[in-house]
Structure formats: C-alpha cells, structure tokens
A and B are shown apart, each in its own frame.
Chain A
C-alpha cells in the first residue's frame, strides 16, 4: 500500500499538530475581512475543513480511531491543496508538522484504501482517457495551433496545458505570443495532441502512481524532442515540474522548466522581445492574483533527507534544513515585471505572494465541490474592494477563468496573456521600452 506507507511515514509529524489554528489564518492579517488563509475551512466551517482537521482525521484513520465516512470524503474534497496552511504553520513550526506533506500522504492513503471520492475517480478516468480532466477529445487539443508550424526537435518545447488548450476564448492571445516567440528566432517543439496531463491534478487527488506514470511519459516526450528547456503556459505544470516531480524521484536535472512569464521576461531582458504600453486597456492599475501553483507551490523541492532527528532530549530537527520549503522561491516577480513593462501599475492585494488566498479552482474542488470553489472565488474577489483597482489579473488560465466566472461588476478579471498578446513586439522595439 504505497499511500499507506506515505501516511505511516508522515504520522509522527501529523501527530505533532498542536491544533493552534494558525493554519487557518494568514500569519499577519491586515484586516478581519481578509484574515483567512484557507478556503476549505471557510466553506466546511467544522475544524475538519482546516489542514489541522484533515491531519487529525488522517491520524484517526491511521490509529483506527475513525472510519471513512461520506462526510470525511466531502470534507477533504473541499480542500484545494493550495498550501497556504503549510506557509502559515511554518511561521511557527518550521519542520515539525509540514501540513502539506501530511495532506499529500492522506490523499494517497485514501486512494490506496479504495476510498477516493466518486468525482475524483471520474476525473482520473477522464485523464486516463483523454489526457485532460475536462475529458475533451485529444483531437481538439491542438486546434488552437492550426496553421502554426512547429519543429519536431528543438531546444525549447512548448507546453500549453489542458486549460488553455481547450479555452477557445484564449486561443488568439496564445497564438500571438507563440508566434512572437517563433519570430524572435526561437524554434519551438510542441507535442500537439500528444501533450497529456502533467500529473499535478492526479498527485493532488492522491493518485501518486498515476501521477508518476504521467510525469514519466511527459519527461520521455521532452527527451525525445531534444529539448533542454520546457516553457509552459500552465501554472499546474510548472508546479508539478519543480515541486512534484522531485518528490517522485524523477530526475529532470538536464531539463530547464520555465513558466511562460519567466521566459518572456528573459526574452525581454535580452532584447529578443519587448512589450509596449498596454494601450488597449483603459486601466493603468491592476491587482495581481498570485496563483497558489505558480507562487508558493512552484518553490523547487530538493531531493534530500527530509526526516527529523531527535536532538537535545526531544527537539525535532530537520536533517536537511536547507531543503525545507518555506514558499519563498515561487514565481512571484516575473508576471509583475511583465505588467510593469507594459506601464501597468501593480497593486498588491492584502493577501499576496506566499500569503495569497486560493481562488478555489485547483485540487479538483471546482469539479467536485463547485459551491466551495465559488465561495473561494467570491472571497478572493472581495479583496478588490480594499484596492483602488477594479481589475484582477492572473497569470494562470485556470484561476482567471474561474475568477471571471464568479466576478460581479464592477470587478473584472483578466488573464495576463490577454494583456501581453497585444503588447508583445518582436525585438527590442525601442530603447525606451527596454529601459523600462
């Protein structure tokens, strides 16, 4: 029972939870309205909805104190696996609990015990059949690229991801950006309809073996393409590459994984591309939504000995403290820098960067507990009221789509690629742009 083993490995850490409730709150809230770190507890309301509550249930299962119940499965299904609990907990508890690792282990145990919620099983069936949780036919996956030419082998492999591949409203922006990169002299390889799931969602749902299979298949495809760099438009994928693949002991040290925002910034800094003022938009100031997967969950996971030693009579100390994840090194700056290059001022939401509040789109919640996902989105959009801006920008297609669906006027949600596309210019358009 692989999942069971993982929970057994994490059980001591799980049992060290002190139920202090810090996992429910951003470490230093700026207001009562936006003090919550956790969409799950906001929806479930019973303690079970929090990371602490889930760890306690995991402990209950492992120690034989409780059985699986429909309520347990409903509760864990409302958790987006956004990792805000982990960041909040570590402010005080550093290495001794690490809630997110416990949640990963609990999900794996649920699957290993054959208790995965029905909706999760359905998502996995769709991924198995079509390579996408949406279950859309593979033949539709590369329609956005009709007319574009890609290399069979190239140094750079383009990864689009499921959300963007099937969101026709974004295809023009996607094409414009990809064409600009190609015109800037970068030959791109693209897997087309052979592009599959990165494995992130499978991992979040506890299907670790399937996630490993998907990840290995993708890494094989990358190697077959000859690419040394993978550029992805998917925040889930970049999170999987940097944070999850190492957990699965998949060696990708010969491949450089970049989010498209990092890649475009790199190209802009070297003068191969530039960004002109985003004059198509009336607004000059936006609030930026840090996607969990792109931000705190893209912090690279290092392959290291994560076990603890008992020192000084009972102090639990990490064997590899330098490898601890504190969510410091996610992708926070690149999208902001791109917005600034387009003369757009970035206004910070109260919960930003590593303390960002999940919009509810991730972890299978949107598909499994839509009411929970909707509440999370509305909570996040409420933060706009504290800013001068009425526009929320996300660099994640999944977040942007989900937030937009639940936005109410005057709030507006814009996908970063829709701002970038009309502003992107091949080459260093002019010195002023570059200097900015």
Chain B
C-alpha cells in the first residue's frame, strides 16, 4: 500500500542521519513514517483539521535530545545540512506540527528537569516538565503553579516562552508571559545562552539581573511560537496557597472530586445581567477578596458536572442540569476564596456575599459532590481538556485582553459570532449563545476567549469553525472590543498599528537571530518582510474581512484544515 502523501515528503539524507545519530545515539533519531505519524496529527486546541486528521506537512525526522548541549548540536547539524527545525514539548494543540517540509522535529520529552525552590517561590523546569507534575510537586510546599488553558499535561515552559500563557487561575497566578524568570536558550544558530539571573550563576530567580534582561525581546507578549530557537530550561514563578501537601482525590472516574481545604469556599454567583456582573466585578477586584474568578458558559459547566456526553445531552433536554449549568444562568462567576485564617475567611466570604447581593446577584445551589467536582477541576485545570469532550474539535477566538468595562460587549461579540451556528440546525455544536471563558489577571484586566465547537468529521462544521475563527478577527478590526489577545503569526501584521510596532520589533529580533529562518513556525512573525509589504498588509483588512473572502477562506479551511 503506497502512502497517500509520501511523494510530498522529504527524506533525511544519510549524512544528516549519521551526524544526528552520532550526537544522540541511533535510538533517539527516527525517520520511520509510523513513528513520525504522531507528530503530524493536526488536532487539539486551536486547530482545525482537514478531511482527515493528518497534517499535509510531516517532519522529515524526529529526534529526542536529553541535554541542552545535544539540542545545540542538533541545531548546528540542521544548519550544516540546510534543514529547518521545530521544538516540540508535549505537542498539544496549536504548535504541535512542523510547518515546512524540510523540518526536523525536536521532541523534548527527555528534558523533564523539575526542581522546586520553595524559599524563592519558584521552580526550575525543562520543556517536558508538565503542569500536572509541577503542580503536584509545588503543592508539597504549599505552592501552586499557573496552569494555562491547555489542560494539565501541557508544558509550562512552552507556555512561558512561546504562547501568551493565560489561564483560569490568573487572578492569583498571573499569566505565564509574566511568570518566566531566568531562562536557558539555544539560539537558531545553535548557541547556548542563559539570560536573567541564570546568566550570572546566581540562580534562576529573575528575568533581569546581572545577565541580559531580554525576556521581552525573546517572547514579548505573544511568545516566540517555537520560531526563535529552543528554550531548554526556565525559572518559573510559583504562588503560595492556603494548604500544603498532596491533593486529596475522592470519587470515581470520571467524576473525581476534591474536598475543599480549611478556610476555602467555592461559590457560584449568578447575576441578572452582564452589566450587573461587570459592576460586581469591579467591587470584587477592588476589595481583593477572590482567589479565583472564572466565568464559564453554562454548557461548559455542564460538561464538568456530567460524566458523559450522553448524560449531558439527556439532562440538557430534560432540564435537570445543576443550576450553574443551566443556560439562563449565563452571567456568572465561579468564585474560589482561599484564606489563611478563619477570621480572614469570614471577612472575605461575607464581603463576596455582600457585593454579589448588592449587585442583584445570588448564589447557585450545589451539592457537596458538585462543589467538590468543580473545585477539583478548577485546581487541576481538567476543565479545559473536558471542553473538547463534546465533539473532539475546538478552536478559539481572538481573546479580549482589556478592562472589565468590555465584559458585556465581549459577550455580545461572542454571541454575534456564534449564535446562528450554535442554534439548533446550525453548523456548530449547539451551545450557549456565546461561549466566552472570562477571568481577571492580577485583579486588573480581563481575559475573554470565545470557544468554537465544531464537528471535526464534518466539512460544513469545520468550515463554520473557520468562519467563526476568522470572523472574530474581522469583527475586531471593524469594531474593536478592547485589545486583541491572540494575535499570533501574520495576524499581527494585518492588525497593524493598533498593537504598535510589536510585529516589526519581533521581526527584527527574529531576523537578527535567525536570518535563514531555520526555526520554522506559522505562529511567530513573518521573517525578512520588506518594509513595503509591512505597510501594505494592514490595508488588506477590509478585503480579508469582506463576506465573500471570509466565505472562501472558511470553505478552504474546512476542506484542507489549518
């Protein structure tokens, strides 16, 4: 049987293979198509596959280095042989696949260093230290890590170096674009550079210090997207929590739950309107009484509180879902209060209740089991992968990163983009009118991200997913809802002046360090772009956001994937 796309795939030259095997050992170099297939699966958060799940471009080889020095040697080997490369940590979602046919995939699985430095409230981690491992070890010291919206098995290093880094506990764990401390980096030329305090030999506690403070240069706000070499180790912030030790788990698969630690409460506030929710939010943040604030659309709460899709569908239809999961309760906050003493807890608890009541809100009735399930999923970030349970296909919106003044408008925008296709008979999975996940960062700005559920096996549904995805950008260009959060890849250039000269600056960094563009990605800036093209791209916004072009683009994506 001939492989369908074999003729489009490049092969590893014998010379390059020999060199790679010399660097790593033959066991850790493969160009076997069967073993490569796992690195060509076009899926996960943010992805829209084509007719089958395989990406059109496969890596020509996968290598498994164990040390920073081996990574550097692999990159130099790529350079000698005119090959590109793509770092790969856990491989979940948007940056899992290579984007050029001459790319080697550098799977960093063997680089799973994890060291907790409790007195410095930080950890030093490698690319394959996953969030669930880091969280488990941090908890032993009364600390917690920030977990981004990619579930517990993602790489915090990848998040901190390469893509924004927002996550549902951001009210107290900030976001990973601000959580990266010192770093170790292999440049696209294969040089090993340590930055921040790590460069001084004084530890890993700061992004600035005796060494060069270049965090902003290397990752900026959006992250390098795997397009600027390989990060092999970082210092990352941890945050104190009100209990120490292993997380207790009760219940049975899949409805695992955890009892709330002492001086902890999980409340689900429901407001009469988004305006009321917004007003309450300002007061809640002003008084700094909430450890976590999270708004999930009710149907997503329902997926967590039911053990299977069948149960979710049945209980949606017969109206027996718990109160937080009912569609009429869409203006809501799940609130976690974690205090250090009974007195503090009383004060925070009473203050939250008073603020919610003052703004016309109330609290949903929940059983202890439901409360335990929600707490468990919040603390472990299992919420996020569970969102994929409905159909196995999701992508997401532009993300709003701005003041909570924009909360009602963000929801309205979410509804505008989804309501038609998520209504019965539409091309997307049925759901809430909007599917915005919303939370605050550090008591200040709002993150809102509209989740788009499509049926990956259905071309019309994939096209509708693409239409909503691209449509979000087009809508933002026409009528901005605050600052756009997920401006990855060329979208930055098209968006243009609204985000200042960030893309041009990032391009200078990319071009300086990687003039041959060996560190290949679609999620970073387009390298080596002539200034005239840079100027023209923003002018294309009206064309790209016109109905006919949107229609054609979404059809193309639905057919071929992105």
Interchain CB contact under 8 A, B392 and A25: no
If A15-B52, A63-B4, A328-B252 touch, whether A314 touches B309 (CB-CB below 8 Å) is no
Could you mark each residue 136-160 of chain B with 1 if its beta carbon is under 8 Å from any beta carbon of chain A, else 0? 1100100000000001110000000
Closest CB in chain A relative to B429 CB, distance in Å: 4
Closest CB in chain A relative to B44 CB, distance in Å: 5
Interface size (A, Cβ < 8 Å)? 64
Interchain CB contact under 8 A, B427 and A18: no
Could you mark each residue 81-101 of chain A with 1 if its beta carbon is under 8 Å from any beta carbon of chain B, else 0? 000000100111111110000
The 4 lowest CB-CB distance pairs between A and B, nearest first, are: A314-B455, A47-B38, A16-B392, A72-B34
B354 cross-chain contacts in A, Cβ below 8 A: none
Interchain CB contact under 8 A, B309 and A95: yes
Interchain CB contact under 8 A, A326 and B253: yes
A75 cross-chain contacts in B, Cβ below 8 A: 34-35
Interchain CB contact under 8 A, A67 and B429: no
Q: Which residue of A lies closest to B58 (CB)?
A: A65
Additional A-B contact list (6), CB under 8 Å, known A25-B153, A71-B30, A314-B453: A19-B38, A19-B43, A67-B2, A324-B308, A326-B307, A328-B253
Could you mark each residue 195-236 of chain A with 1 if its beta carbon is under 8 Å from any beta carbon of chain B, else 0? 000000000000000000000000000000000000000000
Q: Does A316 contact B (CB under 8 A)?
A: yes
Could you mark each residue 437-457 of chain B with 1 if its beta carbon is under 8 Å from any beta carbon of chain A, else 0? 000000000000000011111
In the complex, A321→B306 CA distance in Å? 11
If A65-B5, A328-B253 touch, whether A315 touches B380 (CB-CB below 8 Å) is no
Could you mark each residue 34-78 of chain A with 1 if its beta carbon is under 8 Å from any beta carbon of chain B, else 0? 010000000001111010110011011001111111011001000
Interchain CB contact under 8 A, A94 and B34: no
B380 cross-chain contacts in A, Cβ below 8 A: 27-28
In the complex, A313→B129 CA distance in Å? 37
Q: Does A385 contact B (CB under 8 A)?
A: no
Q: Does B399 contact A (CB under 8 A)?
A: no
Could you mark each residue 21-46 of chain B with 1 if its beta carbon is under 8 Å from any beta carbon of chain A, else 0? 00000001010111101110101100
If A19-B38, A46-B30, A52-B38 touch, whether A94 touches B389 (CB-CB below 8 Å) is yes
B53 cross-chain contacts in A, Cβ below 8 A: 15, 17, 56, 59
- A28, A66, A314: the one contacting B34 at CB < 8 Å is A66
Q: Which residue of A lies closest to B133 (CB)?
A: A32
Interchain CB contact under 8 A, B92 and A32: no
B41 cross-chain contacts in A, Cβ below 8 A: 17, 19, 52, 56
Interchain CB contact under 8 A, A30 and B91: no
Interchain CB contact under 8 A, B252 and A314: no
Q: Does A432 contact B (CB under 8 A)?
A: no
- B54, B91, B392: the one contacting A63 at CB < 8 Å is B54
- B4, B92, B134, B313: the one contacting A65 at CB < 8 Å is B4
Q: Does A20 contact B (CB under 8 A)?
A: yes
If A27-B256, A56-B37 touch, whether A18 touches B388 (CB-CB below 8 Å) is yes
If A30-B246, A64-B1 touch, whether A20 touches B385 (CB-CB below 8 Å) is yes
- B130, B133, B392, B430: the one contacting A316 at CB < 8 Å is B392
| Contact sample, A vs B, 17 pairs, CB 8 Å cutoff | A20-B385, A22-B152, A28-B380, A29-B132, A31-B136, A48-B34, A60-B33, A69-B33, A71-B35, A91-B254, A95-B310, A97-B392, A313-B424, A314-B428, A317-B310, A324-B308, A326-B252
B311 cross-chain contacts in A, Cβ below 8 A: 321
In the complex, A24→B132 CA distance in Å? 12
A91 cross-chain contacts in B, Cβ below 8 A: 253-254, 256, 382
In the complex, A313→B424 CA distance in Å? 7
Interchain CB contact under 8 A, A72 and B313: no
Interface size (B, Cβ < 8 Å)? 84
Closest CB in chain A relative to B280 CB, distance in Å: 31
In the complex, A143→B3 CA distance in Å? 53
Q: Does A282 contact B (CB under 8 A)?
A: no
A-B residue pair count with CB separations less than 8 angstroms: 249
B422 cross-chain contacts in A, Cβ below 8 A: 313
Q: Does A12 contact B (CB under 8 A)?
A: yes
- B62, B92, B429: the one contacting A315 at CB < 8 Å is B429
Closest CB in chain B relative to A3 CB, distance in Å: 16
Q: Does B403 contact A (CB under 8 A)?
A: no
Interchain CB contact under 8 A, B44 and A18: yes
- Using a CB–CB cutoff of 8 Å, the interface residues on chain B facing chain A are 1-5, 28, 30, 32-35, 37-39, 41, 43-44, 52-54, 62, 64, 90-92, 96, 107, 109-110, 112, 114, 129-130, 132-134, 136-137, 140, 151-153, 246-247, 249, 252-254, 256, 307-313, 316, 376, 380, 382, 385-386, 388-393, 422, 424-431, 453-458, 461
Q: Does A21 contact B (CB under 8 A)?
A: yes
B429 cross-chain contacts in A, Cβ below 8 A: 312-315
Interchain CB contact under 8 A, A60 and B54: yes
If A46-B38, A91-B253, A314-B458 touch, whether A32 touches B136 (CB-CB below 8 Å) is yes
Closest CB in chain B relative to A77 CB, distance in Å: 13
In the complex, A60→B5 CA distance in Å? 11
If A29-B133, A32-B137, A313-B428 touch, whether A21 touches B309 (CB-CB below 8 Å) is no
B30 cross-chain contacts in A, Cβ below 8 A: 46, 71
Q: Does A327 contact B (CB under 8 A)?
A: yes
In the complex, A19→B30 CA distance in Å? 20
- B90, B152, B254: the one contacting A94 at CB < 8 Å is B254
Interchain CB contact under 8 A, A57 and B430: no
Could you mark each residue 109-152 of chain A with 1 if its beta carbon is under 8 Å from any beta carbon of chain B, else 0? 00000000000000000000000000000000000000000000
In the complex, A67→B34 CA distance in Å? 7
If A31-B136, A46-B107, A90-B253 touch, whether A15 touches B310 (CB-CB below 8 Å) is no
Interchain CB contact under 8 A, A71 and B308: no
Interchain CB contact under 8 A, B37 and A45: no
In the complex, A318→B137 CA distance in Å? 37
Closest CB in chain B relative to A328 CB, distance in Å: 5
In the complex, A97→B140 CA distance in Å? 33
Closest CB in chain B relative to A20 CB, distance in Å: 5
B385 cross-chain contacts in A, Cβ below 8 A: 18, 20, 22, 92-93
Closest CB in chain B relative to A97 CB, distance in Å: 7
In the complex, A389→B386 CA distance in Å? 37
Q: Which residue of A lies closest to B110 (CB)?
A: A45
A48 cross-chain contacts in B, Cβ below 8 A: 34-35, 37-38
- B3, B254, B391: the one contacting A64 at CB < 8 Å is B3
Q: Which residue of B lies closest to A296 (CB)?
A: B253
Interchain CB contact under 8 A, B43 and A18: yes
Interchain CB contact under 8 A, B32 and A71: yes
Interchain CB contact under 8 A, B114 and A92: no
Interchain CB contact under 8 A, A19 and B309: no
Q: Does A388 contact B (CB under 8 A)?
A: no
Q: Which residue of A lies closest to B151 (CB)?
A: A20
Could you mark each residue 293-331 of chain A with 1 if its beta carbon is under 8 Å from any beta carbon of chain B, else 0? 000000000000000001111111111010010111000
B308 cross-chain contacts in A, Cβ below 8 A: 94-95, 317-318, 321, 324
Interchain CB contact under 8 A, B3 and A67: yes
- B32, B92, B133, B307: the one contacting A20 at CB < 8 Å is B92
Closest CB in chain A relative to B445 CB, distance in Å: 28
Q: Which residue of B lies closest to A327 (CB)?
A: B253
In the complex, A56→B53 CA distance in Å? 9
In the complex, A20→B454 CA distance in Å? 17
